[in-house]
A = this chain, B = another copy of it.
Amino acid sequence: MRGAMIYAPGDIRFEALDDPRILHPTDAVIRTAVTCVCGSDLWPYRGLEPMDEPHTMGHEYVGFVEEVGSEVTSVKPGQFVIGSFATSDNTCANCRNGFQSSCLHREFMSTCQADYVRIPHAQGTLVATDQVPGEELWPSLLAVSDVMGTGWWAAEAAEVKPGSTTVVVGDGAVGLCAVIAAKEMGAERIIAMSRHASRQKLAREFGATDIVAERGDEGIERIKELTGGIGADSVLECVGTAQAMQQALRSARPGGNVGFVGVPHDVAVDGQELFFSHVGLRGGPAPVRRYLPDLISLVQSGRIDPGKVFDLTLPLNEVAEGYRAMDERRAIKALLKP
């Protein structure tokens, strides 16, 4: 089969790789239906994460089960399945507490921009749809496997409640999906921080009621103006930089909450500032597995359409162009078709 490898910052190659096979009785192998490039893939692509040697890429996937290990009974060959970027046995103490992305047997997926993928802990990780969904639903189901699940988690971590005011920091695919989540959870006012016309438009389509284009201190001031001087009930930080975190923390009201889902890079939170802010802070890798059944239903019923974040579709063998387009912000998110 073939798949994407990163050799160095900016150097993505699509090349022949060994076919994945069942290594453990808890594995499955799937044939990729569609996959994509994630905003977090841009960290190594931009040289912002240390990299020792060339490695495979990709952690978002939907596909068809090809083969299962002897202990996998929950899915079977031929089924259409959706998973998460983090595998989970769905039975350990952390899984039972609803934090499957901290599963005691967690593995982070990193081989999904490829024709076939091995899924560890398939029994707990994969969810099959009742029937094979029409191709028009594949992008939204793919979004559920990461960006939509992550946006949902941002809203949950920030305790979005009916009638509340919610700010979304970051207008990438996760931020845009976070707007969907905030709306589904009943936020009355959803302020998207974005300075890109196409993303502002999609944010409004997803439910944003206000757009703030300013950043940093000016952005915080605008949020305060829009929230009676005190700040927002919930702020969803969907970037991962120190600037975005500071903007998020300072945009929340005393007693409000920040949910942070961008993997933090060089972020340190000052204890005394957090203390006097009275803001609650929770983040982490989204427990997507917990949300899968509900989010799949919302997609299948047509209630949400997070697949709209894919504004570029490429054949999988042009994966390198997907990275380039996202790096240069020519695309929000690139869908890849094997």
Tell me the A residues contacting B by CB distance below 8 Å: 93-94, 97-99, 101-102, 104, 157, 228-230, 242, 245, 253-255, 260, 263-272, 274-285
Contact = CB atoms under 8 A, between A and B. Distances in A.
Contact of A275 (B94, B260, B266, B280): B260
B269 A94 contact: no
Contacts of A279: 282
A228 B93 CA distance: 9
Nearest to A284: B278
Contacts of A268: 268-271
Contact of A280 (B98, B254, B282): B282
A87 to B, nearest CB: 15
Given A102-B254, A255-B99, A268-B268, A274 B263 contact: no
Contacts of A98: 255
A15 to B, nearest CB: 31
A230 to B, nearest CB: 5
Contacts of A242: 271
Contacts of A274: 264, 269, 281, 283
Contacts of A270: 267-268
A225 to B, nearest CB: 14
A251 to B, nearest CB: 15
Contacts of A285: 275-276, 278
Given A264-B275, A271-B268, A94 B281 contact: no
